[in-house]
Structure 1
């Protein structure tokens, strides 16, 4: 019976996912998203200067830096944790798992960690549930957010040519969504910095779902709008990845990234049933977590 319930849930999420991908104009997607937001409703959140500033930047620019979110010590603890776990090539699962990025099979550009590994990472849930982050994300979504997906991955060094998400694209994960990115290693030009094209979350150019060349994107929006995110471990930002973006391939040194995705509800990529018990997590971590925001990953 449980297996049948999960099958039904996955079918429903897939239908929603495929439906919203058919709407490829800003106006049509916003029309639907506003109605979903009205149905979900907002939470009462304490206003903060950090949250208000991030919300304003997300609205106007499509991204917001969050220097107050992750300290260097927190990033170091998370990096040490992930270094002790196996990862895998999500595009070639048949290659199996490996631990260090220099052990990745030839041709591997990115290596992801299993959902339970990501969920148990030190500071991960605290970062994803930071009050100022949830305040900014709620403003962007128009409703109380759901942490719909959490991930961490290595970008493997030694590649000059990008593939998959290392090429420019728009994400079509949900009607509205915001992603949080945290660098857990130092990221410079040779370590695969993330690139975003400023304010493209509001523009109806290059809308078909495919990968785009740098020249196509530059011709459409202007290369001066490319924002390249470099910084020390702990650098973090929120981003509306419906806007045009890419992750550069890591040419010289590997990059370790932690990410959380906030949507108006569960999405296809997340677990079909919660992984951990919320009360146990709260007891061990001292966190007070909103059951609705965390319902995809935590059992109430």
Structure 2
């Protein structure tokens, strides 16, 4: 069922006063808070206009791999699972996160904790901050894969902006799905794609990522709110629902406007790394760059995080 303008507006800003307060706190909230008011056709038109005005790579010549990734995104909203990153790189990244304390942003009173020792059963996930994620070994290379950047430029029509990076553990033996473990659309930018790395093996028992193929081009359930499994099945059918499994180090790209969630793990924890590519900065990233650019990384693409 189609939603009215006022219904979509209420999904993010309950009042004009609150909208004004958020805009004063951070001007990036203006576009972010108004985004759910745009229907799918309007989003596409705005994205194309923004992309046309943004910088492009000189003499752009994307690889066949980048073209295949872009085509899969346009058609399904999801790419096939890609081969794992080298084992030595994977081990360095996982070892770093295992010695870096986690936190639960929804329960700040519990403080930080070891990755395998969440202090309460009510904690479904252990998160790392954007800065902690950025400082992981090899992270800049993982963010700046040439095949991904080329695919993103093809898809967006301009150079992408790396935004909203993060990593988190999902814990087994939890009975209630919370947050991103419920089906939802991402309304961070008029066009945004996420790169997901499985840093641990993910099978059907380890909380596979779930995606509704084609829902990135479908306005069904466009309310801005999380949806139940039953509502998703009723709206899209079971044949479009995909569980994404893969070995440690494997990765895939996804149009996160399409409905997605992380399934509750059954018997083993899952470590996921997510990197988002936008047309412009969202409020989910720092207001100022975190670290110096060591060289070799495009300053426009990485300007949110690198000086």
TM-score by length of 1: 0.91
What residue in structure 2 maps to residue 28 of structure 1? Answer: 42
Q: Which residue number in structure 2 is paired with residue 222 of structure 1?
A: 237
Query: Matched residue of 1:76: which SS?
Result: helix
8 Å contact kept, 1:104–1:156: no
Q: Structure 1 38/10 Cα, relative in aligned 2: closer, same or farther at 3 Å? A: farther
Matched, 1:91 2:106: yes
Name structure 2 gaps, 5 residues minimum: 1-21
2-side partners of 1:9 and 1:118: how far apart?
Answer: 28
Q: Aligned partners of 1:65, 1:101: CA distance in 2, in Å?
A: 30
Deviations 1:188-231 (A, max 9, x none): 12211100010110011010011111111111111111111111
Q: Report the CA distance shift for 1:18/1:34 in structure 2 as closer, same or farther (over 3 A).
A: same
1:1-300 to 2 correspondence within 5 Å? 11-23=26-38, 25-44=39-58, 45-65=60-80, 67-68=82-83, 70-278=85-293, 281-282=294-295, 288-299=296-307
Distance, in Å, in 1 between the alignment partners of 2:84 and 2:171 is 25
1:227-278 deviation digits (Å, cap 9, x = unpaired): 1111110121000010011110122111001110110011100011000011
Contact 1:166-1:246 within 8 A present in 2 as well: yes
Deviates more, 1:148-157 or 1:99-108: 99-108
Does the CA contact (< 8 Å) of 2:110 and 2:119 recur in 1? no
Q: SS of the counterpart of 1:51?
A: helix
Pairwise CA distance, 1:102: 2.9
Q: Is the CA contact 1:69–1:127 (under 8 Å) kept in the aligned structure 2?
A: no
Question: Matched residue pairs, number?
Answer: 285
> How far apart, in 1, do the equivalents of 2:210 and 2:138 lie?
25
Separation (CA, whole Å) in 2 of partners of 1:65 and 1:14: 33
**Kindly tell me: are residues 256 and 39 of structure 1, through their superposed partners in 2, closer, same or farther at Cα, counting changes over 3 Å?**
same
Higher helix share: 1
Structure 1: stretches of 5+ with no match in the other structure = 1-6, 283-287
| Alpha-carbon displacement from aligned partner over 1:147-206 (angstroms, at most 9, x marks no partner) | 012101111221133112111111111111000000101111221110001011001101
Alpha-carbon distance, 1:68 to partner? 4.2
Distance 2:221 2:87 in 1: 37
